Amino acid sequence: MNINTTKVISLLFFIFSVFYLYTAYQIQVFAFDENAPFNARTFPIYLGYAGLFFSGLKVILPEPNTIKVQHKNLEYKKTGILILIAIIYGATILKVGYFLTTSLFLFTSYYFLGERRWVLMFLLSFPFVAAFMYLLHGVLDIYLRDPFLQSIGVMG
Amino acid sequence: MIEGILIGLTTALTFQNILMVMVGCFFGTIIGMLPGLGPMTAIALMIPITYGFDPATGLILMAGVYYGAVFGGSTSSILLNAPGVPGTVATSFDGYPMAQQGKAGKALAIAAWSSFAGGTLSAIYLLFMAPSLSKVSLSFRSPDYFALMILGLTAIAAFSSKGQFLKAMMMVVLGLMLASVGQDSLSDITRFTFNNMNLTDGISFVLVVMATFAMSEALTIILKRNDPTSAAKQVSLTELGSIKINKEERTKMYKTIPRSSIIGFLIGVLPGAGATIASFLAYGMERNVVNDEEKEKFGKGSVNGLSAPETANNAACSGSFVPMLTLGIPGSGTTAVMLGALLGFGVQPGPRLYMTNPEIFWSIIMSMYIGMVILLILNLPLIPYIARILAVPKNYLIPLILFFSVTGIYVMSFNNFDIYLMIGIAVVATFLRLYDFPMPPLILAFVLGGLMEENLRRSLLLSNGSWEFLWDRTLTLCILLTTILIVVWHFYKSIIRK
């Protein structure tokens, strides 16, 4: 049986709305607010029901134009690697510092996307990030945390 | 008034003030292009500098930065689908597809001329209507605002193409759900944080925009790299195209600009509304007034679709000065920062400002027009150079887009969690985009979420829990009827099409 993915997404959204609605009912409000015309849980409850209504309709009603995605043509592997590199970048940026992690993130991303012009890859990572950092930190005075540069005495 | 205008002109045309407008426009454009650094940041950065000047000069500099940042935001929206400023999100709906079709230069030129026209027209409206408009804006009550938000959300009908209404509505609800995360604004009760301190302040707008637009766009390009259906799209990305606007396109703009400038200006005048809502509404309204053939082009590189939000967001910038100068109520976050600066100068905004400090009031209005001219002179010749950003090979462009997105979030919060959250939302958004779930309704709902809840709360509390507030006031009823008409018209058209 061929399952329509849009309907599956709508069904997932329906389940998500059930969870959202349940959580909305669990929001603790102040005792004096419990019977007020509007409290912290009123709007989320309306939203939960709206989510159930629209996703429910999408599941029930016939699909006018079905979208077919050719999965074999999609580059899942490269996209996955890029997401993984971005996660590692996010995990290390605070501990290692902006300059080194950003430069390495750019360099490895260029590499995994198939680039092999090493000089250009280098120029568009380390010196580029240094110039960008100078613009933000030096010119615009926006603080950028960088333990690595601080440890080698480049940044105060 | 003539005397005031002359005083304003004399002040605005001094060498120092013209220089300030130029510096402001230039810096604003650069900062606006950087995702995450919007006009609010740009103006905040300027405050320490302006304290060395007299109030009029300081405010003229900040107004220049404001316009420049909004224009800069359009540039990154059109070229990278990474709106630098929330007010330019709607610009990317048609600006980016246009750039993908090899018309980046033209898209930037249309944006520049529309911004100029929108700003100029609204400066004229401001000149004649500022004092009386302050009274009109005061007459808006919470139910009217709530109805206006509902009307704003019906603009999703404009974003959803054939058969996508329910998908768009689901995205609206998802946007509102995301906006409900964090502390309740009145009671400070935390909602949907699951005891995670990082979510207490809610999810940042920049984070959601970066994730659903810039990051998910970058991921989609990589994902569809070998997809034969998107190959043509990718080839044309390297073409810059001409910046000349032909007669047919000019004719379209002549019709779009006046109506969008009026919408933009009026929305800008309402306290708390601002350029973002104005641009979305203008886009939605424009789609509803054009013919069927043009309607089909919306979201695929329509001239009207690009011109409308660009005109409206600049018109709203001028409009937002009305409540700030005449009532002391900021029309947007950016004017709130400017209001702080104004108070810092010892100037008390209010209905009597244009009588007690005419040089400040009128010189700002005059310098707005001068700022528009300077912005056009500065940016039009630079378009061919700015547009070359598209010629950067995708192997470099994609990591750079990801880098700008992460940096935008990093400088805002210095928090790993926000980066993970952004990546997570981007992955979900990429998957949803594969199946044609539209992202613009999600963003619009996210923007309106807080305001909508706030106004619904006030309305319900004032009416003691009764929903009668929806038809008690004529203004509220009119707005709601317009909303219903739009939805009914949308359904009628889709049935006719079938």
Q: Are residues A47 and A80 in the same domain?
A: no
- Of B401 and A24, the structure prediction assigns the larger pLDDT to A24
Domain membership of residue A156 (yes or no) is: no
Half-sphere exposure of A73 (CA within 13 A, CB side): 14
Q: Are residues A62 and A106 in the same domain?
A: no
Q: Are B86 and B205 in contact (CB under 8 A)?
A: yes
Q: Which of B30-34, B57-61, B287-291, B435-439 has the lowest mean pLDDT?
A: B30-34
CB atoms A83 and B427 under 8 Å: yes
Name the residue with tokens 């979030």: B409
Q: One digit per residue, pLDDT tens: chain A, 156 residues?
A: 456 888 999 999 999 999 999 999 999 988 888 888 899 999 999 999 999 998 999 899 887 666 777 778 788 899 999 999 999 999 999 888 889 999 999 999 999 988 889 999 999 999 999 998 887 787 767 777 788 888 887 776
CB atoms A82 and B222 under 8 Å: yes
What average pLDDT does range B471-487 have in this prediction?
A: 86
- Of B2 and B36, the structure prediction assigns the larger pLDDT to B2
3-state secondary structure of B347: coil
Q: Are residues A146 and A77 in the same domain?
A: yes
Q: Are B439 and B167 in contact (CB under 8 A)?
A: no
Q: Does A81 touch chain B (CB under 8 A)?
A: no
Boundary of a domain, candidates A68, A86, A110 = A68
pLDDT at B167 > cutoff 50: yes
User: Residue B216: which residues within 8 A CB-CB, separation 6 or more?
Assistant: B426, B427, B429, B430, B433, B439
Q: Shortest CB distance from B411 goes to which of A37, A47, A136?
A: A136
Query: Sorting pLDDT into bands at 50, 70 and 90, what band is B436?
Result: confident
Q: Are residues A14 and A60 in the same domain?
A: yes
Domain membership of residue A38 (yes or no) is: yes
Distance, CA of B66 to CA of B73 (rounded, Å): 11
- The DSSP code for A62 is P
What average pLDDT does range B447-458 have in this prediction?
A: 86
pLDDT at position A11 is 95
Residue B366 buriedness (CB in 10 A; 0-12 / 13-18 / 19+): buried
Return the number of CB contacts < 8 Å for A and B: 174
What average pLDDT does range B241-267 have in this prediction?
A: 86
Boundary of a domain, candidates A68, A98, A121 = A68
Disruptive mutation site among B47, B156, B166 for chain A (greatest number of A CBs within 10 Å): B166
- When mean pLDDT is compared over B214-223, B253-262, B272-281, B390-399, the highest value belongs to B253-262
Query: Sorting pLDDT into bands at 50, 70 and 90, what band is B354?
Result: low
Q: Are B323 and B132 in contact (CB under 8 A)?
A: no
pLDDT at B355 > cutoff 80: no
pLDDT at B191 > cutoff 90: yes
Using a CB-CB cut-off of 8 Å, the residues of chain A touching B192 are: 20, 23, 44
pLDDT at position B190 is 92
Q: Which of B213-227, B229-243, B360-374 has the lowest mean pLDDT?
A: B229-243
What average pLDDT does range B333-345 have in this prediction?
A: 71
- Of B293 and A101, the structure prediction assigns the larger pLDDT to A101
Q: Are residues A147 and A79 in the same domain?
A: yes
What pTM, to 2 d.p., does this model score? Answer: 0.76
Residues 16..75 of A with a Cβ closer than 8 Å to B: which? 17, 20, 23-24, 27-30, 33, 36-44, 47, 50-51, 54-55, 57-58, 61, 63-65, 67, 69-70, 73-75
Q: Are residues A135 and A83 in the same domain?
A: yes
Query: How many domains does chain A divide into?
Result: 2
pLDDT at B76 > cutoff 50: yes
3-state secondary structure of A39: coil
Distance, CA of B170 to CA of B157 (rounded, Å): 12
CB atoms B170 and A10 under 8 Å: yes
Q: How far is B20 from chain A (nearest CA, A)?
A: 17
pLDDT at B450 > cutoff 80: yes
Domain membership of residue A145 (yes or no) is: yes
pLDDT at B235 > cutoff 60: no
Using a CB-CB cut-off of 8 Å, the residues of chain A touching B433 are: none
pLDDT at position B228 is 60
Half-sphere exposure of B372 (CA within 13 A, CB side): 23
pLDDT at position B497 is 63
Distance, CA of B212 to CA of B428 (rounded, Å): 9
Mean pLDDT of chain B: 80
Q: Does B191 touch chain A (CB under 8 A)?
A: yes
Using a CB-CB cut-off of 8 Å, the residues of chain B touching A136 are: 407, 411
Cβ count within 10 A of residue B207: 24
pLDDT at position B88 is 82
Domain membership of residue A113 (yes or no) is: yes
pLDDT at B97 > cutoff 80: yes
pLDDT at B233 > cutoff 60: no
Domain membership of residue A121 (yes or no) is: yes
Query: Sorting pLDDT into bands at 50, 70 and 90, what band is B231?
Result: very low
CB atoms B432 and A9 under 8 Å: yes
- Segments forming the whole domain that contains residue A87: 73-151
Using a CB-CB cut-off of 8 Å, the residues of chain B touching A67 are: 434-436
Residues 86..145 of A with a Cβ closer than 8 Å to B: which? 86-87, 89-91, 93-94, 98, 102, 105-106, 109-110, 113-115, 120, 124, 132, 136, 140-145
pLDDT at position B237 is 47
Query: Sorting pLDDT into bands at 50, 70 and 90, what band is B236?
Result: very low
Q: How far is B113 from chain A (nearest CA, A)?
A: 29
Q: Are residues A32 and A54 in the same domain?
A: yes
Half-sphere exposure of A87 (CA within 13 A, CB side): 11
Boundary of a domain, candidates A41, A68, A95 = A68
Residues 23..82 of B with a Cβ closer than 8 Å to A: which? 31, 37, 45
pLDDT at B142 > cutoff 60: yes
What average pLDDT does range B64-80 have in this prediction?
A: 81
- When mean pLDDT is compared over A80-84, B64-68, B233-237, B384-388, the highest value belongs to A80-84
CB atoms B223 and A38 under 8 Å: no
Beta bridge pairs of residue B191: B182
Using a CB-CB cut-off of 8 Å, the residues of chain B touching A119 are: none
CB atoms A6 and B435 under 8 Å: yes
Domain membership of residue A36 (yes or no) is: yes
Residue B183 phi/psi, 5-degree rounding, is -70, 140
pLDDT at position A122 is 93
Residues 389..448 of B with a Cβ closer than 8 Å to A: which? 393-396, 398-400, 402-403, 406-407, 410-411, 414-416, 419-420, 423, 427, 430, 432, 434-437
ipTM over 0.90 threshold = yes
pLDDT at position B181 is 95
Q: Taking the CA atoms of chain A, what radius of gyration do you get in angstroms?
A: 25
Disruptive mutation site among A14, A16, A47 for chain B (greatest number of B CBs within 10 Å): A47
